[in-house]
């Protein structure tokens, strides 16, 4: 087990619950709801990753990359939705944003955040699959 991931999981779940109180103040409330859902689901995912941690067959460096890529993707995905909701930046999330478009700066920042989350998620998933391979 990885207790550190458990701690981060509950911090992320707490942040998502607290963020739920801010939904009504957002320019795009649907993104606030998305942030709430993403935070809770990412927290549960971190609990699962922490629970199966001993089954990953990775070097110490690979393990660090695995841990931090999952943490980065969870926290930054939540934060990007919160930021987009407040800034009204909806280009990267056209369904949740229902056509809202924010300032160029807000859209650029949110785009960088979401793209970096995609990259971190691919790293996390790839390392997870690699770490769970059969080792003889």
- Predicted confidence at residue 134, as pLDDT, reads 82
pLDDT tens per residue, range 24-40: 999 999 999 999 999 99
Residue 101 counted as domain residue = yes
For residue 50, being part of any structural domain is answered with: yes
DSSP characters for 3-53? HHHHHHHHHHHHHHHHHHTTGGGSSSHHHHHHHHHHHHHHHHHHHHHHHTG
Number of domains, the chain: 1
Is residue 97 in a domain? yes
- 112 alpha carbon, distance to own chain's centre: 14
* Structure confidence by residue, pLDDT tens digits, 57-85: 999 999 999 999 999 999 999 999 999 99
Owning domain of residue 58: 3-131
Q: Please state, rounded to an integer, the average pLDDT across all residues of the chain.
A: 94
Q: Does residue 22 register a pLDDT over 80?
A: yes
Within a domain: 136: no
Report whether pLDDT(114) > 80: yes
pLDDT in tens, 118-135: 999 999 999 999 999 987
* pLDDT score of 136: 62
């Amino acid at each position: 087990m990885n207790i550190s991931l458990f701690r981060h999981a509950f911090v992320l779940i707490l942040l998502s619950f607290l963020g739920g109180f801010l939904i009504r103040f957002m320019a795009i409330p649907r993104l606030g709801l998305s942030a709430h859902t993403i935070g809770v689901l990412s927290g549960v995912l971190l609990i699962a990753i922490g629970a199966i941690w001993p089954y990953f067959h990775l070097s110490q460096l690979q393990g660090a990359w695995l841990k931090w890529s999952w943490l980065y993707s969870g926290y930054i995905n939540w934060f990007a939705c919160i930021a987009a909701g407040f800034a009204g930046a909806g280009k990267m999330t056209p369904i949740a944003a229902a056509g809202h478009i924010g300032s160029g700066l807000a859209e650029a920042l949110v785009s960088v955040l979401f793209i970096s989350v995609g990259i971190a998620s691919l790293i996390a998933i790839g390392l997870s699959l690699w770490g769970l391979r059969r080792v003889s």
